[in-house]
A = this chain, B = another copy of it.
Amino acid sequence: MFVNKSPRYEILSEESLAVLDRGWRRIVSELGIEFTMPEAVELFAAAGMKTEGDNVFLDPDFVMEQVAKAPHQFDVHARNPANNVTIGGDNMVFGSVYGPPFVREGDVRRVATMNDFEQFCKLSQSFPLLDSAGGTICEPDDAPLDSRHLDMVRALVTLTDKFFMGSVTSAGNAIDTLAMADIVFGGREAIERNPVMISLINVNSPLRYDERMLGAMFEYVRAGQPVLLTPFLLMGAMSPVSVQATLTQQVAEALAGIALVQLIRPGAPVIFGSFLSNNDMQSGAPAFGTPESAVGLLCTGQIARHYGLPFRSGGGLTASTTCDAQAAYEALMTMLPTFLAGTNWVMHSAGWLESGLASCYEKFIVDIEILRMMHEEFKPFEITEESLAWDAHQEVGHGGHFFGAAHTLDHFRDCFYRPLLSSTMNFERWQRLGGEDATDRAAKIWRETVDTYEAPPLDDAIRQELDEYVTRRRAELGD
């Protein structure tokens, strides 16, 4: 977990925030938010909201009363207590890519398998600056569809000892995820006391929460597990072609969901989510790492703080199909603002490629390098008398060099960032050694990391109980 003590970069004026505030209030009260699950609509009706079918017309002040019940920050526990995290405040927590059906490995792009899933778990476990492997690091096509979530959760809790993300495709999958967490962490009471997972509830934007996601959400919230409510906003498709309008819609959708969470379980831990980019209006395809998404990200941080909520955004996003220069600059176009905004929970921190359609091994390493640099760049920076190295200046004087200065010899090992991937090799040596570009080198690094992966210890009884649960449930699910 990274603690970001650097200043936040905020670009919205008070006046802009006031316009946005009026905007989301108008959306929730005049257009309303749809919840295609009767139980959700009933909860709102019981709280005095006007409803019409699935649509709930929300009183904005009521929404704010509910939102005020959500904690400003909360802990999520990991199997290894050293990997526990706090979501909120100055803390930044990072997870791997989430969701891709495909994998890219070098020049090959193919459907993802369970072996890929496990390899990405191993990579996520191996880099300390990732706090979580996430959830669906890729969608393993060779695992049976109806019971695949069991395989993924088992891999996440056995191959890593970091916190993980729950399955959200249905209420049933959420129940399985919770049951497996009970096995690993010592029962329901234990995980209610110390939550162990975060689950991603996407809004079916615009202005609709659907039954599948809501079903999973109800289970997680009732079990005291944090949920992340994320409007899914590609401007031009799910929201207007205006960053301002989209930010307003984002607040309307996220706060409406957070209000529901608080109705289900007052004080439940919850995260204000953001997944905001734009469509390329020439091709209609999604674009990532765009200037608009960066501006949206900076504003989202400021807005989430304005409403007193921990927030999610950012990541190493790109529309590129391959791990090239575009993939790199687009990833950093999102990741640097992620740090400027002080994002609390960062999904897709490593491995995202092809607009989220592919998990890429080489890109995973590029993203890890970017993350490592960001961690260094956003460390507190102060000028003190000691830091001035006056002795070095006295020693070297005019026109000399500092390579041999006593101050240099004392500090050269840890004075600067040491790259994992980047090379400073001169051209002649680089060429002699094969002329490998960053992506070629990344391929070597991920393979070596998987090869030298060490499994975190796990009690045999727990492992056995997990296996039995998976076997039993797979049979019940007919796979």
Contacts and interface: CB of A to CB of B under 8 A. Distances in A.
Interface in A379-427: 381-385, 387-390, 392-394, 396-403, 405, 407-408, 411-413, 415-419, 421-427
Interface stretch (A118-126, A147-155, A281-289): A281-289
A419 B283 CA distance: 12
> Which one of A278, A394, A417 has the greatest number of beta carbons of chain B within 10 Å?
A417
> Which one of A278, A373, A394, A435 has the greatest number of beta carbons of chain B within 10 Å?
A373
Interface stretch (A15-23, A65-73, A446-454): A15-23
Contact of A206 (B11, B27, B400, B422): B400
Contacts of A320: 422-423, 437-438
Nearest to A17: B383
A479 interface: no
A324 B424 contact: no
Assembly stoichiometry (copies): 2
B12 A241 contact: no
Contacts of A102: 427
Interface string A209-228: 00000000000000000000
Contact of A290 (B33, B331, B417, B423): B417
A357 to B, nearest CB: 7
B332 A336 contact: yes
A388 B241 contact: no
Given A392-B240, A437-B322, A207 B328 contact: no
Query: Interface size bucket, A side?
Result: 35 or more
A6 interface: yes
Given A23-B388, A438-B320, A34 B398 contact: yes
A331 B422 CA distance: 12
Given A55-B398, A290-B417, 13 more contacts: A17-B383, A19-B388, A236-B412, A238-B402, A240-B405, A242-B387, A244-B388, A281-B412, A281-B415, A291-B374, A291-B417, A325-B325, A326-B438
22 contacts: A16-B382, A109-B427, A208-B398, A236-B403, A239-B402, A241-B415, A243-B381, A244-B382, A244-B384, A285-B426, A291-B374, A321-B426, A321-B430, A324-B325, A324-B437, A325-B437, A326-B423, A328-B328, A328-B329, A329-B366, A333-B336, A336-B336
